[in-house]
Structure formats: structure tokens, C-alpha cells
Amino acid sequence: MLNKIYQKNKEAIDYLFWGVLTTVLNYILFFILSKSPVTGAQINNSGFWLNFYNTLVGIICTLFAFVTNRKFVFHSKSTGLKNYIKELSIFVPGRLGSIVMEDVIMSIGHVYFGVSTLIMKVIGEIFVIVFNYVWSKFAVFRKR
């Protein structure tokens, strides 16, 4: 029965699994940077550092997500460097857009309303996950 459910919803379940791993990587890297002795005080007082570290982590996670989405979620059949670069060139702008979306959500909530970074990161991540799935499915790895 579980196998039947999995097969029926394979793409969404695989996306959720790899998305959770990407999110965990995102959180670990973000909080290592934001809580390090060198950067911790800066991030708590500055929207710039909050966005800088979030963006840096977002870039790293974007590369991880591209590889895992391409191979394990959407099972891209495109071959050759040209097609790989084409998919990457569509994937990256969507992910950069979602990084900006998360930066804006985090800045508004944390800097202007004083909501904790963790809560704002969770709220931002909800929007990012939905946007990234739709972007990947219909713009990047769509069946041609």
C-alpha cells in the first residue's frame, strides 16, 4: 500500500525529501555563519549581514538543489553539456528570485518588526519551497 502511494506521488515525495535535505543544509550553514564569534554580533544588528549570509547560503544550496532535483526528482533526460547549462541557466534565476524573496521576508520581519531570525527564516522558507517547486516543474525540468 505504501509503495502504491509512493508511486502515485513519487515526484512530490522525492521533491519533499530532497527539499528537506536542502533546507536542513540551508539552516545549518546559515546558523553556523550567523552564530560564529566573528559574525554573530554583526548579524543581530544589521540587515546587511543577515541578507549577506542568507544569500551566500542560498547560492550553495541552489547548486545542491539543482543537482538533486535534476537527478532524483524530475529525472531530467537531457544529455550533454549544452543542455545541462541550459537547464542550469533557467534554474538559477528562479532560485535567485527565491533567495531575494526570502531576504525581503526576513528583513521585513526581523529588522522592521523584531521577529526572531529563526521564525522569519521558517516563514520565508514556506514561500520559497512552493515557488521553487512550481518553477522547477514548469520552467526548468518540464517534459519537452
Specify the pTM: 0.76
Contacts (Cβ under 8 Å, ≥6 apart) of 13: 6
Q: What is the pLDDT of residue 111?
A: 83
Dig out the grid coordinates for 121 from the structure.
Answer: 527564516
Each residue's pLDDT expressed in tens, for the chain with a length of 144 residues:
888 999 999 998 999 999 989 989 988 998 888 776 555 545 555 667 777 887 888 889 999 999 999 999 999 988 999 999 999 999 999 988 998 898 899 889 988 899 988 888 889 988 888 899 999 999 999 876
Dig out the grid coordinates for 33 from the structure.
Answer: 555563519
Helix ranges restricted to H, 9-79: 10-35, 40-45, 47-68
Q: What is the pLDDT of residue 37?
A: 59
Number of residues in the chain? 144
User: Locate cell 535535505: which residue?
Assistant: 21
The letter for the amino acid at 117 is T
Distance CA(12)–CA(69), nearest Å, equals: 11
Distance CA(74)–CA(139), nearest Å, equals: 12
